[in-house]
Amino acid sequence: MAFFCDDGQERPELAPGALHQLKATPQTVHWGYFDAALAPALKVKSGDLIQAEAITHHAGDAPELMMDDGVHAIFREIPESDRNPGVHIMTGPIYVEDAKPGDMLEVRYLRMTPRCNYGSNLAANWGYLYKEFGEKERVTIYQLDANAGHAEALYAYDFPGKYLVPGAITHCPACDRQAALKGVRVPARPHLGTAGVALNVAGRVSTIPPGAHGGNIDNWRIGAGAVMYYPVQVDGGLFSIGDPHVSQGDGELSGTAIEASLNVLFQIVLRKDFSFPSPLLETPNWWIVHGFDEDLNVATRNASLDMLGLLHEHMGLSRNDAYSLMSVAGDLSITQVVDSRQGVHVRIPRSIFPRKGSSG
């Protein structure tokens, strides 16, 4: 049975289970890491729905706009010494009953809504063109018009010093605010920059690099209506979400997106009927395969080989036919170039395949 829900084959139906609420608190988040030894913040069964809060670690870029009492508590109660080795605030982990290594977690993202109508973009010291800007960091604060579905720059300021502490708080009423991007409207596309399962290794693993577990993929298509498949590596999966964005372009060149906290509704379905070596994304129009490596050429090769495997092993094409199709109908793009381990994705349109029962 195919794992995807396309015009040709159907995903197994599963009635929604219980609805769980998972608020982000100092007790239910972990800052900067995945860890297989973490106690679950929530236990669920396959098919259950989860309404969870995802908090941006950039809320301190405009605390008066992006921090409410709940966010203040996280920033206040989790010490800087416990925000490592990565930077992202992760909500979870979620333990899925009966999930075992070798299974897949099918995560159906159903709704993503902003916690507040403001977000921050940092031109960071890890940005792609940092040296070209004189090694200066700059913050641009955006205001979201949720009804119109776009964001506009509210103001910008030069960050004092170097942005090194995860969760830095800048009191910009005392800084030099500047006008930015007058009249420009950025389409809103809320999504999760980071989500994934715990790795089968001892100790903390940074949230910064993406990998087979998911992690900091930074693909703006991982939003409402998308389905992600994550390979389970430890019992229960231990799935966490974080790094919420309001919008981002492919490449994430400055080092960040429009970072903004989100409330996320999703369903987790345990899949034991197929496997895939890397995080796999299904959208209403595309199948998207990801590849990662410190070398962008190697990341490109990894993504291409996994897409070849998808088309051959799951769609039934010969390797020769799959290779031809990838060249004439596939799109290869850079996901991000700023997370040390760089990302590439290859996508194939679902509409080009025959419908189930078609003789053509």
d(CA 130, CA 149): 30
pLDDT at 17: 83
Sheet of 19-22, strand order:
19-22, 49-54, 262-271, 104-114, 227-231, 280-282, 286-293, 342-349, 331-336
pLDDT at 357: 52
Report the candidate in 45, 101, 51, 122 with the shortest Cα–Cα distance to residue 230: 101
pLDDT at 171: 84
Phi-psi region of 8 (alpha: psi -120 to 50; beta: other; left: phi over 0): alpha
pLDDT at 96: 98
CB-CB contact of 41 with 71 (8 Å): no
d(CA 246, CA 236): 30
CB-CB contact of 252 with 210 (8 Å): no
The pTM of this model reads: 0.94
CA 44 to chain centre: 21
| Element at 156 (helix H, strand E) | strand 150-158
Residue 16 exposed, middle or buried by CB count within 10 Å (0-12, 13-18, 19+): exposed
pLDDT of the chain along its 360 residues, tens only?
244 544 345 555 667 789 999 999 999 999 999 999 999 999 999 999 999 999 999 999 999 999 999 999 999 999 999 999 999 999 999 999 999 999 999 999 999 999 999 999 999 999 999 999 999 999 999 999 988 899 999 999 999 889 998 999 998 766 789 999 999 999 999 999 999 999 999 999 999 999 999 999 999 999 999 999 999 999 999 999 999 999 999 999 999 999 999 999 999 999 999 999 999 999 999 999 999 999 999 999 999 999 999 999 999 999 999 999 999 999 999 999 998 899 999 999 999 998 765 444
At residue 348, what is the residue type?
A: I
pLDDT at 8: 41
pLDDT at 356: 60
Q: In which residue are the tokens 């090694």 written?
A: 135
Evaluated on CA atoms 226, 232, 235, 240, the torsion sign reads negative
Full DSSP string of 259-281: E--EEEEEEEEEE-S---SS-EE
Report the candidate in 33, 100, 72 with the shortest Cα–Cα distance to residue 240: 33
**Count of CA atoms in the C-beta half-sphere (13 A) of 109:** 25
d(CA 188, CA 152): 10
